[in-house]
A and B are shown apart, each in its own frame.
Chain A
Amino acid sequence: SQTIHQWPATLVQPVGSPLSLECTVEGTSNPNLYWYRQAAGRGLQLLFYSVGIGQISSEVPQNLSASRPQDRQFILSSKKLLLSDSSFYLCAWSPNPRGELFFGEGSRLTVL
């Protein structure tokens, strides 16, 4: 069966520090991968999605970037965090472009 792993689950970072959130999917190949952000009590904002290795589409560039170095690995990064980056980040995968999404457990980021 397919599983998705996302880490770290929580982290506290100072303003201006770098960020790296990692997501991996097991049990499938060539998944569609997504990064979403969710502010407290709010909806889901699509940040990036990828349909293949090295193929990244950005919805909200800002100071975040995403990379897909391997088929089942999706990384969310920032060179310098802002206070406004504090949020709940969710990775998700889909078996096909129009299928349902399976979400990871999420990473709760606090920037101080």
Chain B
Amino acid sequence: GQQVMQIPQYQHVQEGEDFTTYCNSSTTLSNIQWYKQRPGGHPVFLIQLVKSGEVKKQKRLTFQFGEAKKNSSLHITATQTTDVGTYFCAPRGSGGSNYKLTFGKGTLLTVNP
């Protein structure tokens, strides 16, 4: 599986503030997926990024894939209490098939109402 560093490990914000989590790899990635896990729940797929420099939006969430396909970010605009949870990136390496999907350590987001 592909190894990445995900930062920050924790982030506490006031409701309405923005939030960003980053995933950084030392090698080029084939694609990267993002998941959200609510407290006590299971991870839920959010999005997959494949193309260099790709930007995708889901309402207040903006996902980016770096030009070199080595890093990615998830940005949430004007956080709400419903955004609370742990956000994981899950990269796939380049070159051939890779059935294994390993996850970053995640960023735990807490939102103060």
Contact = CB atoms under 8 A, between A and B. Distances in A.
A32 B97 CA distance: 13
B52 interface: no
B11 interface: no
Nearest to A44: B103
B99 A44 contact: no
A42 B6 CA distance: 12
B75 interface: no
Contacts of A105: 42
Interface residues of B, number: 25
B73 interface: no
Contacts of A106: 41-42
Q: By DSSP majority rule, is chain B's interface helix, strand, loop, or mixed?
A: loop
Contacts of A42: 105
Interface string A71-112: 000000000000000000010001001101111111000000
Contacts of A36: 103
A59 interface: yes
B55 to A, nearest CB: 19
Interface of B: 1, 30-31, 33, 35, 41-45, 48, 88, 90, 92, 97-106, 108
Given A44-B88, A46-B103, A49-B100, 11 more contacts: A42-B105, A44-B102, A46-B100, A59-B100, A90-B42, A97-B99, A98-B31, A100-B33, A103-B43, A105-B42, A106-B42
